[in-house]
Amino acid sequence: MSIHDEGERRLRCVLPFEAAPAELQLLRKSVRRHLKLWGALDVNDEVELVTTELATNVIKHVGEGTAATLVLEPRGDRLRVEVHDKSRIAPALSAVCGEAECGRGLHLLASLSEEWGTLLTATGKAVWCELSLEPARHCMRVRRAAQVLDEYRRVAGVNSALAPSFAVLEESVTDVIADLLHWLVAQGGDPGEALERAQMHFEAEADAAA
């Protein structure tokens, strides 16, 4: 299952946990397991880091042993991370600046995320942030292309005993594209239009990732 081919199916993970230092490693393992299931391991380090910081803030500012909940939810090209607890006191970025660990906590959260904030709930609050999934999307495309190229070279009977140079691989990429265009023409398609669409898609995704 991949986060990029789920269509309209909604993915959501809810992980209750106890806000205690010993729980943080277990929480990170759970995060990694779900990201692997969703095909989004390329953003695992960032997600683990913000999860750890959010959980640590609960320990520091709400109390060790507090019952809390982590929610992970892909939303389009972002992953929303929420940590719920029973306190209704919203954290403030300015309050962290005077602490010895200035640059950590909410400042780290703000630097890693596209957006973040606090939401009051019926039982307390949720501190949330949204991380870009573009790194995972980009790496997924690169891995998929590598698999296609390996299979093409195998079918073409290319000796893969030795690692090919970049120039050889680049020539194989050209061959793959040419064969696909031949296939498209055989099906009555327009190779010029296909190349133009492919270039537009590539440039749009490259701009989004920049």
In Å, what is the CA distance from 204 to each residue of 4, 91, 103, 146, 162? 17, 37, 34, 21, 35
**Among 65-69, 88-92, 157-161, 172-176, which stretch is predicted with the lowest mean pLDDT?**
157-161
pLDDT on residue 140: 63
Task: Name the more confident of 95 and 156.
Answer: 156
Q: Which domain holds residue 173?
A: 136-209
Highest mean pLDDT among 6-10, 53-57, 104-108, 164-168: 53-57
Nearest 5°: the CA angle 16, 114, 90 is 55
Whether residues 152 and 120 share a domain: the answer is no
Looking at 78, 110, 133, the residue that finishes a domain is 133
Question: Which of 111, 133, 155 is the last residue in one of the domains?
Answer: 133
Q: Is the pTM of this model over 0.75?
A: no
Judge if 17 and 89 occupy the same domain. Answer: yes
Q: Does residue 143 share a domain with residue 123?
A: no
Examine the domain organization and report whether 106 and 195 are in the same domain.
no
Residue 4 inside a domain? The answer is no
Is residue 3 included in any domain, yes or no?
Answer: no
> How many other β-carbons are positioned within 10 Å of the β-carbon of residue 172?
17
9 φ/ψ angles, rounded to the nearest 5 degrees = -65, 130
In a domain? residue 201: yes
Those residues with Cβ within 8 angstroms of residue 172's Cβ, 6 or more apart along the chain or in another chain: 149, 152, 153, 156, 158, 164
Same domain, 141 and 118: no
Total of domains in the chain: 2
Quick one: pLDDT at residue 112? 83
pLDDT over threshold 80, residue 41: yes
Residues 117 and 181 grouped into a single domain = no
pLDDT digits (tens, 9 = 90+) for 65-112: 999 999 999 988 899 999 999 999 888 765 444 444 443 567 778 888
CATH classification of the domain holding 127: 3.30.565.10
| pLDDT computed for residue 105 by the predictor | 67
For the purposes of burial, counting CB atoms within 10 Å of the CB of 125, is it exposed (0-12), middle (13-18) or buried (19 or more)?
buried
